[in-house]
Amino acid sequence: MMASVASFSGLKPQLLEFLQELKANNSKEWFQAHRVEYESYLLEPARQFVLAMSHQFRTLGEDIHAEPKVYGSIFAINRDTRFSADKTPYKTHLDLWFWQGAGPSRECPGYFLRLTPESLILGAGMHAFSDRALERYRQAVLDDAQAVRLEQAVSAIGVPASLGGRTYKRVPQGLPADHPRADLLRHSGLFAETEQPVPAELFSDRLPEVCLEHYQRVAPIQRWLVELLAA
């Protein structure tokens, strides 16, 4: 593994070009004709980056999974179009996911990366709670002692990170609409993220270090969720 980590020298500039061209030619025919570029410019460098991040994550906590494979830490580029009006078959961005905990990867909080041709988004938390996580989250918001720790975590998010996951227009039925933390009850997920234009470090061996700096800003939300769901 050490040899693989040492070989990471940054993502490829051609990756952004590939994503732009895929957006303009989002079809199975075009993708199959350019599969070599997908594997060379996206998939293999992403694997190397995930391996490099596995070492960086040791400073953020235990049991953070960095698996260098599709359906591990690398999201499949294929879109699930079954319930979407948009039938284009491929995503036009790179998504990576580093989950923390022993459960199924999509039911755990985690650190994430999304790269588009225009921006790099780095964050932590859960975009959408499972039923179990949602119930525990709401109980915590209603509990004064647990909510204090949540509010402390929100306050500890480093600039320029922002809080996300509030999707309900009003407090859901069955919850107190006049609660002092009503805004938090309108969440169906909880995450914090930073977004920036594509940095020059994307194409250098400093990328894992830069990502770690951003993950440290949003780590308070991740730690609160990990503690909540482990209880």
Task: Write down the pLDDT at residue 127.
Answer: 97
Average pLDDT over residues 68-92: 95
Alpha helical stretches, state H, 99-198: 131-142, 144-156, 182-185
Task: Write down the pLDDT at residue 169.
Answer: 97
CA–CA dist 145, 151 (Å, integer): 10
Grouping H, G, I as helix, E, B as strand and the rest as coil, residue 181 is coil
- Which CATH number covers residue 128? 3.30.930.20
- By the 10 Å C-beta count (0-12 exposed, 13-18 middle, 19+ buried), 132 is classed as exposed
Average pLDDT over residues 162-170: 97
pLDDT digits (tens, 9 = 90+) for 14-65: 999 999 999 999 999 999 999 999 999 999 999 999 999 999 999 999 899 9
User: What range defines the domain where residue 105 resides?
Assistant: 2-230
Q: Is the preceding omega at residue 199 within 30 degrees of 0, hence cis?
A: no
User: Percentage of residues in the chain with pLDDT exceeding 90?
Assistant: 90
Residue 219 has pLDDT above 60, yes or no: yes
Task: Write down the pLDDT at residue 158.
Answer: 86
| Backbone phi and psi for residue 211, each to the nearest 5 degrees, phi listed first | -65, -40
Average pLDDT over residues 89-103: 96
Split at pLDDT 50, 70, 90, the class of 4 is: very low
Average pLDDT over residues 192-201: 97
Split at pLDDT 50, 70, 90, the class of 231 is: confident
Share the mean pLDDT of the chain: 94
Task: Write down the pLDDT at residue 193.
Answer: 97
User: How many domains does the chain divide into?
Assistant: 1
Which whole-number Å values give the CA distances from 125 to 163, 190, 212, in the listed order?
A: 10, 6, 15
Average pLDDT over residues 2-24: 84
Split at pLDDT 50, 70, 90, the class of 159 is: confident
Split at pLDDT 50, 70, 90, the class of 1 is: very low
Task: Write down the pLDDT at residue 5.
Answer: 45
| Least confident residue range of 10-14, 56-60, 158-162, 224-228 | 158-162
Residues contacting residue 98 through CB under 8 Å, at least 6 positions apart? 50, 53, 57, 64, 65, 66, 73, 110, 111, 112
Residue 220 has pLDDT above 90, yes or no: yes
Split at pLDDT 50, 70, 90, the class of 66 is: very high
